[in-house]
Amino acid sequence: MAKRSRQSAYGAAGVDIDTQDKALARIKKKVRSTFTSAVISDVGSFGGLFRPDLAGLEEPVLVASADGVGTKLMVARRVGDYSTVGRDLVNHCVNDILVQGARPLFVLDYVGAGVLEPKEMEQLVGGVAAGCKENGCALLGGETAEMPGFYQPGDYELAGFIVGLVDRPRILDGARVRPGDLILGLPSAGLHTNGYSLARKVFFEELELGTGERVPGADTRETVAELLLSPHLSYLAAIEPWLGDDRLHALAHITGGGLTDNLPRALPKKCLAEIKVGAWEIPEVFYLLQEHGGVHTDEMFRVFNMGIGMVLIIDPSAAAEMIPALATSGHKPAPIGTVQKGTRSVLYDFPAESVPA
């Protein structure tokens, strides 16, 4: 009886080890390009080795988080371009630890698929590597898993795990927030990575649009693909100079749950955020999604970021200095509200013309 190689038997079951190896070989250079001086291991080790610089820190604290990009991956699949979602992943994770005052050290990634294709894998991991380089952190390691039968051919899963560092006296936990504080909003670049299940339903089912078609009602020639694959912004470069400044009292990353659920996470128990809707420009896409999705205003502010990607809660005395500095960094900060006494929550002040009911 003829013997079959172990690889061919595994291949018959749907897993091609040789193809995986080829794909990994194509991304090693990109991964190494993210390595900082603190990385003391190489690509392919069983575990990544990292020696952080703790100089000048009184009480170093590690901050860790994990996230994914959700069904934005399905838009990338429909378009046939996975090159942007890796950046989305890293930027999302960086923002999540930034709100506690942490600077990123390294990222680990996970790519799962029914069938790993070298081109798609290179785009996915290459995007993660690019995001790490842009944020000054290392892609220290990761995992690729080819699981036929669990994922279908063409399906990809992408998750990221980040570790950062903050000095304990500089942790942002909302304890400094007090009534009278000013709330600044930094604009998002569209949907970022949240609300895509509803957005896909509206664009592809209700409006029956193709990814290459122009967004209806938009002032620009932006296509559906360009709109839905707009990057999730990182706010690290803009906010990092203010970490450690006592006038920065808290930060909130506006992701799934919108302002309604995320802003209270940065507030003490006896404070509420009063938000003046209309104090910033809500991108047209959100009006379109509300109209064609039949979404109530309350739900819009819980599903989507509504044009605000990051919130800073600051001492009002810092506004004259901080607002121009943030604008110079490439963002356009808007005073969107204030902190008031009350139960931890968000209170919206809606002008009649701001958002349809």
Distance CA 274, CA 346 (A): 6
CATH number at residue 222: 3.90.650.10
Residue 63 tokens, joined: 């901050």
**Cβ–Cβ under 8 Å, residues 34 and 139:** yes
Residue 4 falls within a domain, yes or no? no
* Strand partners for 165: 62, 103
| CB neighbour list of residue 316: distance below 8 Å, 6 or more residues apart | 180, 181, 182
Single residue among 170, 201, 218 that ends a domain in this structure? 170
Return phi, psi of residue 233, to 5°.
-75, 150
Q: Which residue from 132, 123, 31, 128 is spatially nearest to 82, judged by alpha carbons? A: 123
Single residue among 126, 143, 170 that ends a domain in this structure? 170
What is the SS3 assignment for 312?
A: strand
Check residue 280 and give its pLDDT: 97
User: Do both 274 and 213 map to the same domain?
Assistant: yes
Check residue 25 and give its pLDDT: 76
User: Do both 206 and 232 map to the same domain?
Assistant: yes
CATH number at residue 164: 3.30.1330.10
**Cβ–Cβ under 8 Å, residues 93 and 135:** no
Could you give the number of structural domains in the chain? 2
For 238-272, give the secondary structure using H, E and C.
HHHHHCCCCCEEEEEECCCCHHHHHHHHHCCCCEE
User: Do both 201 and 158 map to the same domain?
Assistant: no
Check residue 277 and give its pLDDT: 97
Distance CA 180, CA 273 (A): 10
Residue 3 falls within a domain, yes or no? no
pLDDT tens for the 357 residues of the chain, in order:
455 555 566 676 666 666 667 777 778 889 999 999 999 999 988 999 999 999 999 999 999 999 999 999 999 999 999 999 999 999 999 999 999 999 999 999 999 999 888 899 999 999 999 999 999 999 999 999 999 999 988 899 999 999 999 999 999 999 999 999 999 999 999 999 999 999 999 999 999 999 999 998 766 678 999 999 999 999 999 999 999 999 999 999 999 999 999 999 999 999 999 999 999 999 999 999 999 999 999 999 999 999 999 999 999 999 999 999 999 998 999 999 999 999 999 999 998 654 444
User: Do both 39 and 84 map to the same domain?
Assistant: yes
User: Do both 267 and 295 map to the same domain?
Assistant: yes
User: Do both 216 and 328 map to the same domain?
Assistant: yes
Distance CA 298, CA 243 (A): 33
**Cβ–Cβ under 8 Å, residues 106 and 140:** yes
User: Do both 339 and 318 map to the same domain?
Assistant: yes
Q: What is the pLDDT of residues 169-192, one digit of tens each?
A: 999 999 999 999 999 999 999 999
Check residue 26 and give its pLDDT: 77
Residue 239 falls within a domain, yes or no? yes
Residue 187 falls within a domain, yes or no? yes
What is the SS3 assignment for 15?
A: coil
Domain span at 333: 182-349
Residue 357 falls within a domain, yes or no? no
Check residue 16 and give its pLDDT: 67
pTM of the model: 0.92
Q: What is the dihedral of CA 114, 31, 89, 74, to 10 degrees?
A: -30
Check residue 356 and give its pLDDT: 47
Residue 225 falls within a domain, yes or no? yes
What is the SS3 assignment for 166?
A: strand
**Cβ–Cβ under 8 Å, residues 199 and 240:** no
